[in-house]
């Protein structure tokens, strides 16, 4: 099929034409949530824009298989293998078990996604389901000489790679400057950028979830999860991998290092990263105490769709600053848009040429590095255009496959309420007619039948009673 999507690839630092490994088929991997707390609306910006990417690919006709992990073990409170396991931290905070915390926040995450019309990926895999897969990769890396055991942990040896910083412009020196004082250097590491593939009991005595392994009882490092889960469900060659920009280093850099060292060939061709949602104080994060969730927006009276529109109005590669003033503007725009769409008349026919022309323009906007604000402009142009209401409605319905703004939903609810009202009225008329016949008032009975016919309802007297149909 024709590959029309152009997308920025973090790996090459260029906007490129997206060409999957197998024609027409796309393997897509998304780093999922660490389920120790609610997702904030910043996290959800990333998932929302990844949802737009998935839906765009489907809209263009690709057969997409999307996989997402659930991090329920191994993600430490610092990305540099330091600090406490985030899951354990959550369990302590709420005096629950780690598995209870994982189940609760996994459900909460998908509830939030549902509210924002983010489609559930085809495969959702908790890391704790795949321990054997991770162990196999770590064994392979040890065999090939890319890993070493030290202080009862297994580490990836970054000095064995030809190039480690494939996703960023970091040089060794730059990174030295970036090393934070509060992160204790791990004396077991041979090189500063080496990272843990497998932790053993030596790391945390109170680690709740542990598994037997060739290196002792322990648990996997965070990065190995995504490599393992992706390979398990999408094979050795991945088309596109997504995440927030904060995942570029070290998480995705380490994923590439270990996956390619293990496989012996290139692993993933395209890397898509969504920029951060910031507030006035900077990047929205869970460690900053109070954070904004979808439920909080709802409590303040916002329809979650307003947040979706707010995100679609800007480009995924630009930082987005959140404020309630800007959200209010999105709320007003959303209400206006829905009102305009609700006023479209359902009758009439679709003008095929106009439909195809606007659909193509909508696709072109998305194919231009997912330019969602241009795609919204096409929607506004459709509503203003000199084409039939039926064509407009058909286009809105079509665009909704990607936008997912529930633009036609109120309409549908109103239609079904109208349907219900109509059938109640019909049944009342049938009852009145039966009474008239009983009273031998045939003139009234006939008048009721005629009125029903005029309104498009045909009635028929059967042995079981009077039935009706719409004509
Ligand atoms: P976490 O649950 O912390 O592992 O993060 C889940 C996803 O949200 C990752 O892809 C992060 O890169 C992304 N993320 C974290 N903070 C933000 C933010 N403020 N804005 C956008 N995405 C974010
Ligand atoms: Zn990941």
Last residue of a domain, one of 383, 407, 431: 407
Give dist(CA 8, CA 271) in Å, integer: 8
The bound ligand whose nearest atom lies closest to the alpha carbon of 108 is 1
Same domain, yes or no, for 49 and 17?
Answer: yes
Q: Looking at the CA of 49, which ligand is closest? A: 1
Question: Which CATH number goes with the domain that contains 179?
Answer: 3.40.50.620
pLDDT per residue as tens digits for the range 113-137:
999 999 999 999 999 999 999 999 9
Mean pLDDT (whole number) for 417-445: 88
CA–centroid distance, 248 to ligand 2, in Å, is: 10
Task: Look at residue 203 in the predicted model and tell me its pLDDT.
Answer: 55
In whole angstroms, how far apart are CA 352 and each of 344, 382, 396? Answer: 18, 14, 14
Task: Pull the structure tokens for residue 293.
Answer: 């969730």
Same domain membership, residue 240 and residue 106:
yes
What's the CA-to-centroid distance between 265 and ligand 1, angstroms?
29
- The count of structural domains within the chain is 3
Residue 172's pLDDT band, with cuts at 50, 70 and 90, is low
Residue 30 maps to a domain: yes
Q: Quick one: pLDDT at residue 306?
A: 98
Domain boundary among 407, 423, 445: 407
447, pLDDT greater than 80: yes
Q: Is residue 1 domain-resident? A: no
The pLDDT value recorded for residue 178 is 43
Pair 276, 283: CB distance under 8 Å:
yes
Q: Please name which of 250, 214, 274 lies closest in space to residue 53, comparing C-alpha atoms.
A: 274
Instruction: Indicate the top mutation candidate among 10, 49, 244 to test ligand 1's pocket, ranked by most ligand atoms within 8 A of CB.
Output: 244
Counting from 1 in the atom list of ligand 1, the atom nearest the Cα of 286 is 3
Domain-located, residue 351: yes
In a domain, 466, yes or no: yes
The answer to whether residues 392 and 458 belong to one domain is no
Summarised one tens digit per residue, pLDDT across range 62-102 is 999 999 999 988 787 776 677 778 888 888 888 988 889 89
235 and 373 share a domain? Answer: no
Residue 329 lies in a domain: yes
What spacing in Å lies between the alpha carbon of 251 and ligand 2's midpoint?
6
Q: Which domain holds residue 314?
A: 301-407
Residues 318 and 372 placed together within one structural domain of the fold: yes
**Structural domain contains residue 178:** yes
What CATH number does the domain containing 401 carry?
Answer: 1.20.120
Q: Which of 407, 439, 458 is the last residue of a domain?
A: 407
How far does residue 388's CA lie from ligand 2's centre (Å)?
47
Q: Do 352 and 259 have their domain in common? A: no
Residue 182 is predicted with a pLDDT of 46
- Say how far apart CA 367 and CA 315 lie, in whole Å: 13
Over residues 2-12, the pLDDT tens digits come to 999 999 999 99
- Are residues 54 and 144 both part of a single domain? yes
**For the chain, what is the mean pLDDT?**
91
Min mean pLDDT across 214-218, 231-235, 383-387, 423-427 is at: 423-427
Ligand 1 atom closest to 31 (CA): 10
Expressed in angstroms and rounded, the spacing between residue 48 Cα and the centre of ligand 1 is 11
Pocket of ligand 1 (CB under 6 A): 31, 33-34, 42-43, 45-46, 243-244, 246-247, 274, 276-277, 283-285
State whether 344 and 429 are in the same domain: no
The answer to whether residues 381 and 266 belong to one domain is no
Q: Are residues 364 and 271 in the same domain?
A: no
The answer to whether position 186 is within a domain reads: yes
pLDDT at 415: 64
Q: At residue 181, does pLDDT exceed 60?
A: no
As given in the structure block, the two tokens for residue 389 are 């209401």
96-110 pLDDT per residue, tens = 888 898 999 999 999
Nearest to 75 by CA among 200, 156, 196: 196
**C-alpha 31 to ligand 1 mean position (Å):** 9
pLDDT for position 205 = 63
Cα(34) to centroid(ligand 1), Å: 9
pLDDT tens readout for residues 22-35: 999 999 999 999 99
Q: What pTM did the predictor assign? A: 0.86
Assigned domain for 100 exists: yes
Ligand 1, atom 23, lies closest to the CA of 43
Instruction: Say whether both 268 and 314 belong to one domain.
Output: no
Q: Which atom of ligand 1 is nearest to the CA of 246?
A: 12
The whole-number pLDDT of residue 175 equals 56
Shared domain for 110 and 225, answered yes or no, is yes
309/48 Cα distance (integer angstroms): 10
SS3 assignment for the chain: CCCCCEEEECCCCEEEECCCCECCEEEEEECCCECCCCCCHHHHHHHHHHHHHHHHHHHCCCEEEEEEEEECCCCEEECCCEEEEHHHHHHHHHCCCHHHHHHHHHHHHHHHHHHCCCCCCCEEEEHHHCHHHHHHHHHHHHHCCCEEEECCEEEECHHHCCCCCCCCCCCHHHHHHHCCCCCCCCCCCCCCCCEEEEEECCCCCCCCCCECCCCCCEEECHHHHHHHHHHHHHCCCEEEEEEEHHHHHHHHHHHHHHHHHHHCCCCEEEEEEECCEEECCEECCHHHCCCCCHHHHHHCCCCHHHHHHHHHCCCCCCCEECCHHHHHHHHHHHHHHHHHHHCCCCCCCCCHHHHHHHHHHHHHHHHECCCHHHHHHHHHHHHHCCCCHHHHHHHHHHHHHHHCCCCCHHHHHHHHHHHHHHHHHHHHHHHHHHHHHHCCCHHHHHHHHHHHHHCCEEEEEECCEEEEEEC
As a whole number, mean pLDDT of residues 348-374 equals: 97
Q: Which of 75, 226, 246, 274 gets mutated to test ligand 1 (max ligand atoms within 8 A of its CB)?
A: 246
Cβ within 8 Å of residue 139, ≥6 positions away: 214
């Amino acid at each position: 099929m024709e590959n029309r999507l152009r997308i920025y690839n973090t790996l090459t630092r260029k906007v490129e034409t997206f060409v999957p490994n197998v024609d027409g088929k796309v393997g897509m991997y998304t780093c999922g949530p660490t389920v120790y707390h609610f997702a904030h609306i910043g996290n959800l910006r990333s998932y929302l824009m990844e949802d737009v990417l998935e839906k765009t690919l489907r809209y263009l006709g690709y057969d997409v298989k999307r996989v997402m992990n659930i991090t329920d073990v191994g993600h430490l409170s610092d990305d540099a293998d330091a600090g406490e396991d985030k899951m354990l931290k959550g369990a302590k905070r709420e005096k629950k078990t780690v598995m209870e915390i994982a189940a609760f926040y996994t459900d909460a995450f998908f509830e939030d996604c549902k509210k924002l019309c983010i489609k559930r990926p085809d495969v959702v895999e908790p890391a704790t389901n795949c321990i054997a897969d991770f162990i196999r990769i770590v064994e392979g890396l040890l065999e090939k000489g890319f890993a070493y055991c030290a202080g009862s942990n297994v580490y990836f040896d970054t000095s064995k790679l030809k190039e480690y910083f494939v996703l960023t412009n970091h040089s060794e020196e730059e990174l030295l400057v970036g090393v934070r004082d509060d992160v204790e250097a791990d004396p077991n590491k041979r090189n500063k950028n080496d990272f843990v593939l497998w932790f053993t009991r030596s790391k945390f005595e109170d680690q709740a979830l542990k598994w037997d392994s060739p290196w002792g009882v322990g648990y996997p490092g965070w990065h190995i999860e995504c490599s393992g889960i992706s390979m398990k469900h999408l094979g050795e060659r991945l088309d596109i991998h997504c995440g927030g920009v904060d995942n570029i280093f070290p998480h995705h850099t380490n994923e590439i290092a270990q996956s390619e060292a293990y496989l012996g060939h290139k692993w993933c061709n395209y890397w898509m990263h969504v920029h951060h949602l910031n507030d006035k104080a900077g990047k929205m994060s869970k460690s900053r105490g109070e954070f904004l969730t979808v439920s909080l927006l709802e409590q303040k009276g916002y329809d979650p769709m307003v947040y979706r529109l707010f995100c679609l109005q800007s480009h995924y590669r630009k930082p987005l600053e959140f404020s309630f003033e800007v959200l209010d503007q999105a709320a007003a725009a959303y209400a206006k848009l829905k009102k305009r769409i609700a006023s479209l008349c359902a009758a009439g026919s679709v003008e095929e040429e106009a439909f195809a022309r606007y659909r193509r323009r909508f696709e072109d906007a998305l194919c231009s590095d997912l330019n969602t604000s241009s795609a919204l402009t096409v929607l506004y142009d459709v509503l203003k255009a000199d084409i039939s209401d039926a064509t407009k409605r058909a286009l809105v319905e079509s665009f909704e496959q990607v936008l997912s703004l529930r633009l036609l939903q109120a309409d549908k609810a109103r239609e079904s309420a109208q349907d219900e009202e109509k059938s109640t009225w019909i049944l009342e008329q049938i009852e009145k007619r039966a009474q008239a016949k009983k009273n031998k008032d045939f003139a009234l009975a006939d008048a009721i039948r005629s009125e029903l016919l005029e309104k498009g309802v045909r009635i028929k007297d059967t042995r079981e009673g009077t039935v009706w149909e719409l004509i």
